[in-house]
Amino acid sequence: MTSESATPARGDPLLQVDGLKVHFPLTQGVIFRREIGVVKAVDGVSFDLTRGETLGLVGESGCGKSTTSLAVLRMHPASAGRIVFEGEDITQQTQGSFRRRMQMVYQDPYGSLDPRMKVADIVGEPLVVHRTSASRADYDERVAQLLATVGLLPAMAERYPHEFSGGQRQRIGIARALALEPSLVICDEPVSALDVSIQAQVINVLMELQERLALSYLFVAHDLAVVRHISHRIAVMYLGRIVEIADRDDLFREPLHPYTQALLSAVPVADPEIEATRARQVLLGEVPSVMRPPSGCRFHPRCPQAFAACRTEDPELLDMGGRQVACHLHRRGVIPIRPAAAAAA
Amino acid sequence: MTEPLLSVKGLTTRFRTERGTVNAVDDVSFDVAPGQTVAVVGESGSGKSVTALSILRLIPNPPGQITGGQILFEGQDLLQLPDAQMRAIRGDRIAMIFQEPMSSLNPSLTIGLQIAEPIHQHRGTPWQQALDMARGLLEKVHIPDAAKRLHTYPHHYSGGMRQRAMIAMALACQPRLIIADEPTTALDVTVQAQILDLLKDLTRETGASLILITHDLGVVARYADRVVVMYGGRVVEQGPARTIYQRPSHPYTRGLLASVPRLDGPAGERLVPIEGSPPDLAALPPGCAFAPRCRQVSDACLATRPKLRAIGTDHLNACLRDDL
């Protein structure tokens, strides 16, 4: 695959998220509970995802990437906004066919599999819950098929999770997610708990399955190299907002938001020659608390290019021709300084 | 080459487990020159952390025990020192920075007290003066409002600030060697860059050597002068960082470099994974520990344990096959 195929022709969206907000009340007291504030974990997030596409959701801890994915799965109630999946508004729904059509692969391959269940029962449980199999033979065949799909041997069906390595467990988790033939799989940091030599195995399985089954992935991760590798488009989040969303190659070739630039520059490249000469931009400070987000642009206290308006005005997501960015520099037509240029100046 | 600051020779550390005795570190040798940053790279179970703990003699006994080798630090074998002398070296000449800043800081003592403690202990500096020095150290690691922060507790600090406090504590007695065990694994990338840059700047400034234990090949490329690659408790390859990245020689090192997606590599292509899983130390094969996962395995690899040998200037490799 080359960069031409990075972006499949963007057809009708499978998933549309529009102005999604997920707010959690902050309470005090045990008997007389009262609200003392609100945590805006996700605060106005919009994106869409087409069939067969992978959207990478990246950001540092507390940026709301996991909360966004849980809201899409309807595991967190949305405080505002709309979630449309396969043409159906599921924002207020808790039950329905969409439950089968979207599935999740979890981060922790140890905590997400019941240690007392055999692999066959773990993978087959969704089939039982949704009563999709006509007979026992049918069920057994489907389970065997699912295990084969993720590259596990049929004999492994009768074993327990503890007999498997981290990479194999993650395959079991993927097989379980595929049991009901979903169209959307949400992967929340699916490889970050695995050893480096194992991560590639799981990434390859996910990419092969996407090609074979035309799956869409919402791929949540903090490892930019992994996200770049697997995603067609990438949304960068910071404190509950999307600050930039673009095709993978555009984002990495020319990051527009100063935060994206800093994030890319912070990740070391596994090559001492490149690292020795690379111009870098190191951000000051840390991500502020979501409980007290900064005024105006939430990134302004750490932004090397902030000016007066950034402190007071909240930037909107601007359309930049096939990509979007939320930054005042672009509204004014000022092109932000790239890290290399900034270092040279 | 100048006299190494630290010279680990044939270090072997055993653990008694339910499944028998395992060599968590098995005949490991490497040198650290003054002012040098040496990265020890490996996956879980490779023995990289146990190596670090062994150098400081912090292996819990039982179940663990250092059964062989020498750890020469400034010409002195640390393994032969009485406990009291070893205590005098820990935190003074050799300092350690742990992965989890929250669990390695005492939650019930103020940060200032914890940084001042080694100064008071090792130097006999009066507490008040040690606290003053602690404030200076906090400023040095760029903690804003250091004078006020001195009297607050670890839970008031964010993850990055706690790790800065750990670095301040490690620097307190101007150590010659700092061992950092996955110092930024628990932190966000932008904070990771800040912390590692700080650590590198401070070691450069004080001329201290740094042993950086990590699994992140990008971090190694950015910060290390020298790389020691470990697998199954053994060193499989070591050499200058550039050599290791440009001409990786051991199939495991090559596999590792090929399996990691790179920011500057081709996106969307299939990665080349290393098949199988990291080794089970209790059931290592008789020959090369990597043999069961190696694509270039030969019969000899299964039977004979390869020795580390020189294959270039300062470049050592433990692979039987010299035709690769």
Which residues on adjacent β-strands are paired with residue A328? none
Judged by CB atoms closer than 8 Å, whether chains meet at A6 and B268 is answered as: yes
Judged by CB atoms closer than 8 Å, whether chains meet at B190 and A283 is answered as: yes
- Is B161 in CB contact (< 8 Å) with chain A? yes
- Which residues of chain A have a CB within 8 Å of the CB of B193? 265-266, 268, 280, 282-283
pLDDT in tens, B136-188: 999 888 888 888 889 999 988 888 888 889 999 998 899 999 999 988 877 78
Chain B residue at shortest CA distance from A251: B263
Per-residue pLDDT, averaged over B257-283, amounts to 85
Confidence (pLDDT) at A334: 59
Confidence (pLDDT) at A16: 95
B247 or B1, greater pLDDT: B247
Q: List the CATH number of the domain containing B83.
A: 3.40.50.300
Judged by CB atoms closer than 8 Å, whether chains meet at A270 and B159 is answered as: no
Residue B189: which of A196, A266, A272 has the nearest Cβ?
A266
- Which residues of chain A have a CB within 8 Å of the CB of B37? none
Judged by CB atoms closer than 8 Å, whether chains meet at B218 and A268 is answered as: yes
Confidence (pLDDT) at A99: 87
Judged by CB atoms closer than 8 Å, whether chains meet at B218 and A225 is answered as: yes
Answer whether residue B110 shows pLDDT above 60: yes
> DSSP 3-state helix, strand, coil percentages of chain B (rounded to 5)?
35, 25, 40
CA–CA separation, B198 and B201 (whole Å): 5
Confidence (pLDDT) at A166: 86
Using pLDDT thresholds of 50, 70 and 90, give the confidence band for residue B324.
low
Is residue B292 a part of any domain in this protein?
no
DSSP code at position B293:
G
Using pLDDT thresholds of 50, 70 and 90, give the confidence band for residue B132.
very high
| Per-residue three-class SS string for A104-130 | EECCCCCCCCCCCCCHHHHHHHHHHHC
Confidence (pLDDT) at B283: 86
Q: Å from B44 to nearest chain A CA? A: 7
Average pLDDT, chain B: 90
Is residue B186 a part of any domain in this protein?
yes
Check: CB of residue B56 under 8 Å from CB of residue B8.
Answer: no
Which residue out of A61, A271, A287 would a mutagenesis test of the B interface target, given it has the greatest number of B Cβ atoms within 10 Å? A271
Check: CB of residue A253 under 8 Å from CB of residue A323.
Answer: no
Contacts of A26 by beta carbon, 8 Å cutoff, 6+ apart: A35, A36, A37, A38, A39, A291
Is A64 strand, coil or helix? Answer: coil
Instruction: Let me know the angle formed at the C-alpha of B27 by B25 and B317, rounded to the nearest 5 degrees.
Output: 105
CA–CA separation, A143 and A127 (whole Å): 9
Is residue B91 a part of any domain in this protein?
yes
Contacts of B27 by beta carbon, 8 Å cutoff, 6+ apart: B10, B11, B12, B68, B69, B234
- Is A301 in CB contact (< 8 Å) with chain B? no
Q: Which residue stretches of chain B are H helix?
A: 48-55, 83-89, 101-104, 111-123, 127-140, 146-149, 159-171, 189-206, 217-223, 241-246, 251-259, 299-303
Check: CB of residue B68 under 8 Å from CB of residue B150.
Answer: no
User: Is the bond leading into B63 cis (omega within 30 degrees of zero)?
Assistant: yes
Chain A residue at shortest CA distance from B279: A165
Is residue B261 a part of any domain in this protein?
no
Answer whether residue B235 shows pLDDT above 70: yes
Per-residue pLDDT, averaged over B67-88, amounts to 93
Confidence (pLDDT) at A338: 55
Residue B261: which of A197, A228, A272 has the nearest Cβ?
A228
Judged by CB atoms closer than 8 Å, whether chains meet at B273 and A204 is answered as: yes
Check: CB of residue A142 under 8 Å from CB of residue A133.
Answer: yes
Which residue out of A2, A196, A252 would a mutagenesis test of the B interface target, given it has the greatest number of B Cβ atoms within 10 Å? A196
Is residue B317 a part of any domain in this protein?
no
Is residue B304 a part of any domain in this protein?
no
Contacts of B277 by beta carbon, 8 Å cutoff, 6+ apart: A165, A166, A167, A168, A195, A198
Q: Residue B123's domain spans which residues?
A: 6-228
Average pLDDT, consecutive stretches of 10 residues, N- to C-terminus, chain A (345 residues): 46 89 87 83 93 93 89 92 93 86 90 92 92 88 92 89 89 94 94 86 92 94 90 95 95 93 89 85 81 91 91 91 90 59 38
Chain A residue at shortest CA distance from B159: A286
Element (H, E) at A51: none
Judged by CB atoms closer than 8 Å, whether chains meet at B270 and A204 is answered as: yes
Chain A stretch 150-169, residues whose beta carbon is closer than 8 A to a beta carbon of chain B: 165-168
Is residue B177 a part of any domain in this protein?
yes
> DSSP 3-state helix, strand, coil percentages of chain A (rounded to 5)?
35, 25, 40
Judged by CB atoms closer than 8 Å, whether chains meet at A274 and B264 is answered as: yes
Judged by CB atoms closer than 8 Å, whether chains meet at B270 and A201 is answered as: no
B129 or A331, greater pLDDT: B129
Chain B residue at shortest CA distance from A275: B222
Residue B43: which of A196, A265, A282 has the nearest Cβ?
A196
How many Cβ pairs within 8 Å bridge chains A and B?
152
**CA proximity to A223, closest of B261, B254, B196:** B261
- Which residues of chain A have a CB within 8 Å of the CB of B264? 269, 271, 274
- Which residues of chain B have a CB within 8 Å of the CB of A266? 189-190, 192-193
Pairing of strands A216-221, A184-188: parallel
Domain count within chain B = 1
Is A62 strand, coil or helix? Answer: coil
- Which residues of chain B have a CB within 8 Å of the CB of A60? 188-191
Using pLDDT thresholds of 50, 70 and 90, give the confidence band for residue B212.
very high
B111 or B277, greater pLDDT: B111
Chain A residue at shortest CA distance from B247: A271
Tokens matching residue B58 = 């912090």
Residue A200: which of B194, B263, B273 has the nearest Cβ?
B273
| Per-residue three-class SS string for B162-207 | HHHHHHHHHHCCCCCEEEEECCCCCCCHHHHHHHHHHHHHHHHHHC
Sign of the alpha-carbon torsion through B277, A108, B190, A336: positive
Is residue B213 a part of any domain in this protein?
yes
Q: Å from B307 to nearest chain A CA? A: 23
Chain B residue at shortest CA distance from A272: B221
CB half-sphere exposure, A115, CA atoms < 13 A:
4
Q: Quick one: what percent of chain B has pLDDT higher than 90?
A: 56
